[in-house]
Amino acid sequence: MLDALPDAVLLSDPGQRVLYLNRAALERYGVSETEAVGKPLTSVYQRRWLPPEDEEVARAALAAGGTWSGELVHVTRAGVELRVAASVVTLKDDAGNAQAYLSVVREVSPRVEGEVEQALRASEERFRKVYENAPMGIAITCWDGQFQQCNAAYSALLGYSAEELRRVHFSSLVHPEDRPRNQAELGRLKAGAIPYFEVENRYVHRDGRPIWVHKYVTVLRDETGRPAHLVALVTDVSARKEAEEKLLRAREELEQRVKERTHELQQRADQLSRLASDLSLAEQRARQRLSTILHDHVQQLLASAKMNVELFAKGSGDREATLGRIRRCLDEAIAASRSLSVELSPPLLHEFGLAAGLEWLAEWMAEKHALEVRLSLDAQANPDSEEVRALLFASVRELLFNTVKHARVRTADVELAVHDERCCRVTVSDCGVGFEPGAQPSARELSEGGLGLFSVRERLGLLGGSLEIASAPGAGARFTLIAPRTFRNGQPPLPSGDG
């Protein structure tokens, strides 16, 4: 508030040493705070009195009534002469001893005597109102730290009356965690190492809550120039500190979220890399299997048919028997290629949905692997997406292969059901040997030549689904696959990033 005044405001001790200057004073006299505070007033300006005023008249007025107003000339350090109207008020302790002088100075042009007196009285009244009603707390203590006087703002800040403050030591009002720094700065001030100090610390309100303040502390000297009192100008900065703490917490939370998100994205990148590698291996194994079937079975049948065609053409041997062998070779080759085509992509799955595809799979597992698959199928749970149907079908087939290879049972159960309004649920279970979930076999151990559990889990996750595994040694295994039946706007959801 003092910095907002157009008038120069100065605080000096009885020894005429500068304790404080507001912004207008620094600008008017062309000095910095470091150059002025703790120095004699004559280092800021020189006085030239205008009759009938002189220094003796001013001192007598201050001694008698505690105030003086008048016009004089201030000469700055740069030699600029300023005609000013000054009002000076004495700040006294309870014993009536002068502790400091507050001066309000306004630059004026020569005026008639009545105008000058009126301006000085107005200036003095403004100064008194500033001191009494300023939002900045002002307190004066003895050299040992006992309070002498304070304004209303200081009392209101801490919740104590001026009388109550006179019975306490100022250090008891400082928060225990902030006292060491205050004591260190105060020690430097009393030792004369610094003319003043500024610090932000917490006071303890009468009700026990902490209050953040900005505090400016300097020394009041007596007429001989010896340190006598301390003066503190205190501003409540609790709101700013609270805003800073909220901003800091928000920044820390944001940094933590960024770190977590970065970690999730890195995990997702690693998982996608492993998935790509796993799918590449699965593709290679599928190609090898296809090549083996074509080379060891279909090509052999076709080669045999060719040989018999050549014999038939030459008319060698029994032509009817040769023709019969040709037919058998071609029939077996056609059946083998048809079986391979169905295994790779059952037409029922694409034409009639997942339930029909699972019915075919149950029959195929019984025929090829002697595994009885008990079905519980809800046609309403059929996914709309062909991609989801294909993935669920391939996943169930891999899990049934694992049952054949590892579970040591000849039966398994498959259930297709509605999970919720958006998702379907497929459960594959058996009563086999089971395994310890914490030590699950690797993808290659569980599925040589197929997708593998890792690929199933990751591909379901990319579509917004999940794979849950429940098992224990000797208690069988249960695999639950959750996948969307429909996609919002026809698009799969973004991956959750939870692995």
Q: What is the mean pLDDT of residues 329-343?
A: 70
Reported as a single tens digit per residue, the pLDDT across 154-194 is 999 999 998 888 888 888 899 999 999 999 998 999 888 89
> Which of 236, 261, 290 corresponds to the end of one domain?
236
Using alpha carbons, select from 402, 302, 290, 377 the residue that is nearest to residue 340: 290
90 and 218: one domain? no
Q: What is the mean pLDDT of residues 452-458?
A: 72
With cut-offs at 50, 70 and 90, classify the pLDDT of residue 59.
confident
Reported as a single tens digit per residue, the pLDDT across 433-454 is 988 765 544 444 444 444 467 6
Task: Note whether residue 33 is domain-resident.
Answer: yes
The pLDDT assigned to 4 comes to 80
Helical spans, DSSP H, in 46-178: 55-65, 113-133, 152-158, 162-165
107 and 129: one domain? yes
**Of 391 and 301, which is predicted with more confidence?**
391
The tokens for 161 are: 């009356």
> Which of 236, 271, 291 corresponds to the end of one domain?
236
362 and 493: one domain? yes
Reported as a single tens digit per residue, the pLDDT across 207-238 is 999 999 999 999 887 767 788 888 899 999 99
Cis geometry, peptide bond prior to residue 176 (ω within 30 degrees of 0): no
24 and 153: one domain? no
Task: Note whether residue 271 is domain-resident.
Answer: no
Domains identified in the chain, total number? 3
The pLDDT assigned to 495 comes to 44
Please state which of the ranges 173-177, 231-235, 302-306, 407-411 shows the lowest mean pLDDT.
Answer: 302-306
The burial class, CB within 10 Å (0-12 / 13-18 / 19+), for 340 is middle
With cut-offs at 50, 70 and 90, classify the pLDDT of residue 494.
very low
Task: Note whether residue 289 is domain-resident.
Answer: no
Task: Note whether residue 439 is domain-resident.
Answer: yes
What length is written for the chain? Answer: 499
Quick one: how many helices (H) and strands (E) in the chain?
15, 16
Which strands sit side by side in the sheet containing 466-471, from one edge to the other?
Answer: 372-377, 411-418, 423-430, 477-484, 466-471
The pLDDT assigned to 448 comes to 43
Task: Note whether residue 472 is domain-resident.
Answer: yes
> According to the 3-state scheme, what is the secondary structure of 379-437?
HHHCCCCHHHHHHHHHHHHHHHHHHHHHHCCCEEEEEEEECCCCEEEEEEEECCCCCCH
> Which of 204, 236, 268 corresponds to the end of one domain?
236
Using alpha carbons, select from 422, 399, 423, 424 the residue that is nearest to residue 412: 399
User: Distances in Å between the alpha carbon of 146 and those of 91, 186, 202?
Assistant: 17, 14, 19
Q: What is the mean pLDDT of residues 97-119?
A: 74
Res. 253: pLDDT tops 80: yes
CATH number, domain containing residue 52:
3.30.450.20
Res. 357: pLDDT tops 50: yes
The pLDDT assigned to 498 comes to 43
Task: Note whether residue 302 is domain-resident.
Answer: no
**Of 125 and 213, which is predicted with more confidence?**
213
Q: pLDDT exceeding 70 applies to what percent of the chain?
A: 82
With cut-offs at 50, 70 and 90, classify the pLDDT of residue 497.
very low
Kindly report the pTM of this predicted structure.
0.41
Q: What is the mean pLDDT of residues 321-350?
A: 74
Res. 297: pLDDT tops 90: no
- How far apart, in whole angstroms, are the C-alpha atoms of residue 200 and residue 85? 36
What is the signed CA dihedral for 26, 30, 34, 40, rounded to 10 degrees? -90
Please state which of the ranges 15-29, 385-399, 456-470 shows the lowest mean pLDDT.
Answer: 456-470
Task: Note whether residue 331 is domain-resident.
Answer: no
Q: Give the domain extent around 216.
A: 139-236
- Residue appearing with tokens 């208690």: 475
156 and 185: one domain? yes
CATH number, domain containing residue 463:
3.30.565.10
108 and 170: one domain? no
